[in-house]
Structure 1
Amino acid sequence: MTTITIQKEKLSKVLEDVEVLIQDVSELVDQNMLVKQRIANIQKSPEAYKTEEELDTYLKKRGVNIE
């Protein structure tokens, strides 16, 4: 097996990038978190969603499946 040398700074940068990517992927697949964020947004400004249809439209635009 061949040995390679990597500078500590470069390895640290790569590891930081990997952590960010892992976090991004976990956020994409975690629908519960997305729904919680949407609900928090709605609670902050409920006047923006006067009808159920407006609320459904808002949620659909943000990737929440409405049945």
Structure 2
Amino acid sequence: MADQPVPEDQKVDKVYATIFHPVFAQKAENLRPTLHTLDVKPKEVITFGPGEAAYSRVRPIHRLSIEELANRA
């Protein structure tokens, strides 16, 4: 697909060189958010089965605790 031509009233006469501003770059770097991770360990192995009383019509069924799973391997 070819680019559409730029309308005459939107054309740029001159493109100026980009000036690197170290103060701005440092300020932007200081504002960068810190990402955090949260390690969540599983507590048990479950499956889902029918649950008529539950809102979603399924209920969790306990299969193995993590200790049982570790001893099984």
Alignment TM-score, normalising by the size of structure 2? 0.26
Higher strand share: 2
Provide the TM-score with structure 1 as the length reference: 0.28
